[in-house]
Structure 1
Amino acid sequence: MSRFSLPRIDYRFVIIGLALYFTLVLNWKVLGHFYSILGALESYDLGFAASAPFVLLLGSVVLFTPFSFKYLMKPFFALLLITGALANYAMIKYGIVFDRGMIENVVETNPGEAGSYLNLQSAMWFVVTGGIPVVLLALMPVRYPETILRGVMGRMVMIMVPLVMLGGLAGLYFKDYASVGRNNKVLGKEVAPVNYVAGTVKYFKRRYVSSKMAFRTVGDDAHQTVAISANGKPTLMFLVIGETARAQSVQANGYARPTSVFTQKIPGLLAFQNVRSCGTATAVSVPCMFSTMGHDNYNGEVARHSESLMDVVAKAGVSVFWKENDEGCKGACDRTPSVELRPKDFPEFCGNGTCHDEVMLAGLDEQIAGMSGDKLITLHLMGSHGPTYYKRYPDEHRFFTPDCPRSDIENCTQEELVNTYDNTIRYTDFVISKLVERLQSYQDQYNTVLLYVSDHGESLGESGMYLHGAPYMFAPDEQTHVPMFIWTSNGFANDRGLNNTCMRDQAQKGSFSHDNVFSTVLGVMRVGTTVYRKDQDMFASCENATYQAARETDPNVADN
């Protein structure tokens, strides 16, 4: 009795089948976006519209053919299908665009955050669009060329024929593609698997190949320009780094819902209206705001091989400490005394593998007592980290209902999604108010200051986008416009001669960004160094002449 066996399929048909699958299934997002763009035009060539799937198909055949050798094809395309399924889900469900920056964000995501994206729908999507095709590919008997020469010749034909056809389509519709592509550059970042493969190659090349650079010290001349404040008190500053808070959802920034009810009760707390982030992901924004480079000149490799704001402040003799409740400091605190809050250590604040931000108050008095002189404490909040927004606030702060207690947020109603996110903003506002209260309890001993700024914003379905991490040049306002609060004690304000009207005007009318954080903190801590920039210190223009004169007599203070 003969055993049943499937007929072997020529490797060329397998390549064409894979190219067809990527075109019609895993490139569903880019095709949909392409046709939505055409639909918004007054007129377009029907032949041009019909050519798009063929361009993707032919291009995929050209790219896939070199990987069709016997011992390479199945493992290579199995990996490509698995990663393609994951990327496809992220692009369709959350509007994520894959480039080097997004790959960096993915690689630096901790296991707890990654787990928050796992749900029944994402698992089923992965099984259907990735798992099943991989199993079929693994079981498929493939017929390869009998000789090396035939293999080489066959693959050359497989590449040349599609290239000729692509050339023909380019001759017919080059102007159309050039026009659409020039006006919608994000389309190129949506083509799978080119987008995430190219992004991965660029990330690893930049991270591990091009990163052989010497470590750079910063602010070696740092010292305190004014040895002691006029009132004899040292300075205690809380630098609070928020997570995924967007200005559009903050009541103090004009939002109609009561998300700032706690901080609005605090006299003298200022909400800055026009503040821009350095990036659209933590992996960029946090090291950027702690670097000397600023948004326009930021280079992640340079930042990774350089000292940060925390190092410069410490060189001046200020005590520094970093308290972490998010996904790490991204290198900004590598040489700074720090503590990462673990859920098992704080059961009263933590559950489901994450801690509510009130945990920042635990042990804070002891940590302050363990520091000497002027003190800078950076607190990195969990804030509004998605997609599991519902995990970011305790039940007693479930103010807006109904909310969305699930990770597949695209399946919640818009009302539920907004309610859940707004609860996180409201809870962060509560935590900020508690941190200010703690500083108020120290104002007899210290000149106290709080500066809060979010690392980036968040999309909640606007234009079909969710979460964050869009390329900055394409990023919507929701991902780059962030809230910032400043509060100072009367002792600090009097010591610096701060003009309250000036500060209020700056908060309402001024334009600021993460670029201002570096020099503002140096100014608060009275640190003189050539890397200080007076024009980026948010307090400098509102301080009185006497205090400014004391700083400006220091030859190391840059007045640029």
Structure 2
Amino acid sequence: MRVKTRLKFVFICIVVIVLVLLSLSKILFPFARENNEIRFQLLPFYPIYSCIKFYKSMNKKDMPFTIIADDAVHKSTKKQLVVFVVGETQRSANYSLNRYTKNETNFYTKEQNVISFSEFYSCGTATAVSLPCMFSDLKRGDFDIAKANSRQNLVDVISSVGIDTFWLGNNSGGCKAVCDRLIKENVKEYKAINFDEVIFKDAIDMIEKATNTTFIVLHVQGSHGPIYFKEYPDEFRRFTPTCDTAELNKCSIEEIQNTYDNTILYQDLLQSELIKALKKRENEFETAMFFISDHGESLGENGVYLHGLPYAIAPKYQKHVPFIFYSNNDAVNKRLLALKDAQFSHDYIFSSVLGYLGIKTAVYEKEFDIFSKY
């Protein structure tokens, strides 16, 4: 058999395998996600994978930690109270603020004078990449996890200038090293043992007691699948019928989407309550809330479910994410409205937050500051 014929045969086999896997994704992907330990039983693939991983770890060279903003200073003349909510697995396509019409998923925040950016895109399609990337000064095109973990991130820089900085996490995957350098007293991880309201209540308590400029990160469990039905209390089963099982193959697309929409509605209420708490302090602080999801989700479009596909081939649903912004600064809000349909991405977070807080440093890039574009 000639080389070209063999290559053609191999290519056809790969295409067939991919198509078969995609056709079974409604069964296989949720099963693998909920039964993570099954990978240990894959012989001989897992032992080979483990050996390669062990070899790489033995030959891995520690990278020296880099201080990227030793010149950072906080120049704001007013006290600020800023909450940054990291959404989990929420996609822009199901946001009624972004022209989604099937269900009113933003019933609560629509009354809170928020700005929703309709064309915002993630750095990755899974939390392990997107979370460290969104807080890094590195851009998606040159992002590397090892490099990011060996240099200051946005949280580090904000803390370094004397701003009271906190991380409240209710995500089962933890903070992916983003919060590792904060003082222990300022980090609280629940690991998804409760609904997300637990960290919102903690944040609201901090808002009520704040006396200095404060930056609070909330990392939620959000809309993580395939157990969407477990991500909200029973009273938020508003859009029905729902898919009340992790076995998505037993549910219709409508049931899956309704259940997913219920998770967004629940998060929307939590954000609204947070904004109300910020409004109570607006006479003393300039207040703001950023809500940006780490990545999106596929809900059965073209037979694809969940998330985590390679960025180059992942559908838009896994990369197109919501960004909601609230501020009591009416001048800022009015100007940002002109940009709400412009295209931005996680690449803009680092400099935009620094710019909003008034932190001056050489690593700040004006061209990546959304607030500098009006």
TM-score of the superposition, structure 1-length normalised? 0.59
Match of 1:217 in 2: 67
| Cα distance in 2 for residues equivalent to 1:197 and 1:467 | 27
| Cα distance in 1 for residues equivalent to 2:31 and 2:151 | 28
| Cα distance in 2 for residues equivalent to 1:294 and 1:378 | 21
| Cα distance in 1 for residues equivalent to 2:124 and 2:74 | 31
**1:457 and 1:468 in contact (8 A); partners too:** yes
Q: Is the helix fraction higher in 1 or 2?
A: 1
1:78-97 to 2 correspondence within 5 Å?
92-94=24-26
Match of 1:349 in 2: none
1:100-179 to 2 correspondence within 5 Å?
117-118=34-35
| Cα distance in 2 for residues equivalent to 1:320 and 1:294 | 23
One-letter code of the match for 2:16? L
Match of 1:325 in 2: 170
1:197-236 to 2 correspondence within 5 Å?
209-226=59-76, 228-229=77-78, 234-236=79-81
Deviation readout 1:293-319 (Å, 9 max, x if unpaired): 011110011012122111101111111
Match of 2:271 in 1: 432
Match of 1:507 among 319, 340, 344: 340
Shift of 1:498: 2.7
Match of 2:215 in 1: 376
SS in 2 for 1:363: helix
Distance 1:455 1:499, change over 3 A: closer
**1:321 and 1:378 in contact (8 A); partners too:** yes
Is 1:529 the counterpart of 2:361? The answer is yes
**2:208 and 2:281 in contact (8 A); partners too:** no
TM-score of the superposition, structure 2-length normalised? 0.86
**1:95 and 1:464 in contact (8 A); partners too:** no
| Cα distance in 2 for residues equivalent to 1:384 and 1:390 | 9
| Cα distance in 2 for residues equivalent to 1:314 and 1:282 | 23
Match of 1:266 in 2: 112
SS in 2 for 1:240: strand
**2:127 and 2:295 in contact (8 A); partners too:** yes
| Cα distance in 1 for residues equivalent to 2:31 and 2:216 | 28
Shift of 1:260: 1.0
State which drifts further: 459-468 or 241-250: 459-468
Q: Which runs of 5+ in 2 are unaligned?
A: 1-12
One-letter code of the match for 1:117? E
Match of 1:455 in 2: 294
Higher relative contact order (CA 8 A, sep 6+): 2
Shift of 1:367: 3.1
**1:95 and 1:466 in contact (8 A); partners too:** no
Distance 1:302 1:277, change over 3 A: same
Q: Is the strand fraction higher in 1 or 2?
A: 2
Shift of 1:364: 2.9
SS in 1 for 2:317: helix
Distance 1:219 1:454, change over 3 A: same
Match of 2:85 in 1: 240
Deviation readout 1:520-560 (Å, 9 max, x if unpaired): 11112110001111111111223xxxxxxxxxxxxxxxxxx
| Cα distance in 2 for residues equivalent to 1:313 and 1:302 | 19
Shift of 1:211: 4.3
**2:31 and 2:247 in contact (8 A); partners too:** no
Match of 2:120 in 1: 275
| Cα distance in 2 for residues equivalent to 1:427 and 1:499 | 25
The alignment's C-alpha RMSD in Å is 3.1
Matched residue pairs, number?
A: 357
Match of 1:554 in 2: none
Match of 1:484 in 2: 323
Shift of 1:401: 1.0
One-letter code of the match for 1:329? C
Q: Percent identity?
A: 35
Q: Which runs of 5+ in 1 are unaligned?
A: 1-27, 37-87, 98-112, 135-191, 344-353, 543-560
Deviation readout 1:104-128 (Å, 9 max, x if unpaired): xxxxxxxxx999714xxx99xx7xx
